[in-house]
């Protein structure tokens, strides 16, 4: 056999093998795409979250262990736990306690005030009052944050509505701004719309016939609510609590405006150390502590949910 025929035969064999390999690869890829179609569709989102969320968190965690040197703009990559020691010492531990207190108070008040409103919007018949409440709720939901904050500033200010009311009744005026309660009240106002919408979805899933069955078996209205309605709507309450707590714990503008700089939460310290002092390691350490606290509360509430409520 001539050299030309051998080359031609080998070329044909190589092309056939390449074709078989391509066919097998295509079949394997097709099978993987069918079996893991959800992963393929979600892969762009997963990659985006890893690049824009997970990677910055890792860099933030790494920088929290760097050493801050006021003589240099960038921190030194020298491992230290000094930043976390300072975060857990006064006055920053006081800011952590204050943040947790305001966030917990906001969460409790939000759930207490939002649940009856959610129940009314779900169970009441369609009417003018229901439409008005729903429209007011949606309008409040889309209201800009600064407008809400400065509205409460004029409520609690020296010449605000509360002091004018006290003056009208001949009572001495109070310096409301500078304390934690205006912050908590404003945050409750910000959290109620989303909490109501979340709990409405949970209450809608409750079959009223289950409550009727409990009443037929001898339970009164209070027992039916405590033993039937409330446990079945607990997933919505948990979700609303998580959204309210995490949103309050990371608030920056609300305490800055309504406390006039007298009450500083963790977000205010983080911004100050990042922007004004340029102490990146300390700000990163406080950010990590805030993240750990938020996750701990979230997982704690989720643990209670998994223990007392069966979620499908």
Whether residue 58 lies inside any domain: the answer is: no
Shared domain for 148 and 240, answered yes or no, is yes
Shared domain for 27 and 93, answered yes or no, is no
Mean pLDDT across the stretch 36-59? 78
Mean pLDDT across the stretch 240-244? 90
Shared domain for 25 and 173, answered yes or no, is no
Shared domain for 113 and 249, answered yes or no, is yes
Whether residue 54 lies inside any domain: the answer is: no
pLDDT band at 292 (very low <50, low <70, confident <90, very high): very high
pLDDT of residue 18: 64
Supply the pTM of this predicted model.
Answer: 0.80
pLDDT band at 111 (very low <50, low <70, confident <90, very high): very high
Shared domain for 18 and 108, answered yes or no, is no
% of the chain exceeding 70 in pLDDT:
84
pLDDT of residue 177: 83
pLDDT of residue 7: 47
Say yes or no to pLDDT of 24 above 80.
no
Shared domain for 14 and 95, answered yes or no, is no
Mean pLDDT across the stretch 150-177? 85
pLDDT of residue 39: 65
Mean pLDDT across the stretch 19-40? 65
pLDDT of residue 112: 93
pLDDT of residue 191: 92
Shared domain for 141 and 26, answered yes or no, is no
Whether residue 190 lies inside any domain: the answer is: yes
Whether residue 83 lies inside any domain: the answer is: no
Mean pLDDT across the stretch 273-296? 89
Total count of domains within the chain: 2
Mean pLDDT across the stretch 245-273? 88
Distance CA 91, CA 272 (A): 14
Say yes or no to pLDDT of 48 above 70.
yes
Whether residue 280 lies inside any domain: the answer is: yes
Whether residue 41 lies inside any domain: the answer is: no
What residue numbers bound the domain in which 4 lies?
A: 1-35
**Domain with 268 in it: what CATH number?**
1.10.3720.10
Mean pLDDT across the stretch 103-111? 93
Shared domain for 95 and 216, answered yes or no, is yes
Whether residue 53 lies inside any domain: the answer is: no
Shared domain for 126 and 247, answered yes or no, is yes
Rounded mean pLDDT of the chain? 82
Shared domain for 232 and 94, answered yes or no, is yes
Shared domain for 123 and 266, answered yes or no, is yes
Identify which of 34-38, 219-223, 268-272 has the greatest average pLDDT: 268-272
Say yes or no to pLDDT of 12 above 80.
no
pLDDT of residue 312: 41
pLDDT of residue 97: 92
pLDDT of residue 109: 94
Shared domain for 169 and 291, answered yes or no, is yes
Whether residue 52 lies inside any domain: the answer is: no
Mean pLDDT across the stretch 216-237? 84
Say yes or no to pLDDT of 305 above 90.
no
pLDDT band at 21 (very low <50, low <70, confident <90, very high): low
pLDDT of residue 287: 92
């Amino acid at each position: 056999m001539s050299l030309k025929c051998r080359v031609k035969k080998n070329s044909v064999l190589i092309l056939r093998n390449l074709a078989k390999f391509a066919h097998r690869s295509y079949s394997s890829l097709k099978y993987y795409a069918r079996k893991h179609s959800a992963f393929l569709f979600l892969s762009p989102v997963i990659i985006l979250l890893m690049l824009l969320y997970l990677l910055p968190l890792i860099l933030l965690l790494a920088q929290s262990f760097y050493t801050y040197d006021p003589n240099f703009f960038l921190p030194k990559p020298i491992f230290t736990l000094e930043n976390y020691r300072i975060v857990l010492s006064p006055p920053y531990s006081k800011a952590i306690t204050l943040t947790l207190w305001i966030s917990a108070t906001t969460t409790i008040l939000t759930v207490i005030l939002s649940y009856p409103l959610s129940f009314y919007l779900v169970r009441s018949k369609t009417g003018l009052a229901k439409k008005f409440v729903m429209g007011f709720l949606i309008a409040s939901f889309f209201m800009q944050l600064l407008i809400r904050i400065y509205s409460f500033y004029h409520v609690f200010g020296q010449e605000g509505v509360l002091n004018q009311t006290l003056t009208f009744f001949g009572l001495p005026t109070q310096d409301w701004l500078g304390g934690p309660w205006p912050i908590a009240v404003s945050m409750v106002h910000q959290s109620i719309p989303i909490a109501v919408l979340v709990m409405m979805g949970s209450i809608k899933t409750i079959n009223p016939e289950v409550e009727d069955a409990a009443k037929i078996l001898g339970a009164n209205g209070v027992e039916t609510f405590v033993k039937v309605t409330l446990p079945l709507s607990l997933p919505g309450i948990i979700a609303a609590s998580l959204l309210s707590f995490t949103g309050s714990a990371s608030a920056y503008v609300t305490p800055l405006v309504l406390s006039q700089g007298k009450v500083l939460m963790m977000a205010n310290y983080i911004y100050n150390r990042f922007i004004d002092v340029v102490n990146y390691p300390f700000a990163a350490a406080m950010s990590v502590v805030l993240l750990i606290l938020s996750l701990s509360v979230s997982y704690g509430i989720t643990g209670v949910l998994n223990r007392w409520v069966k979620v499908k």
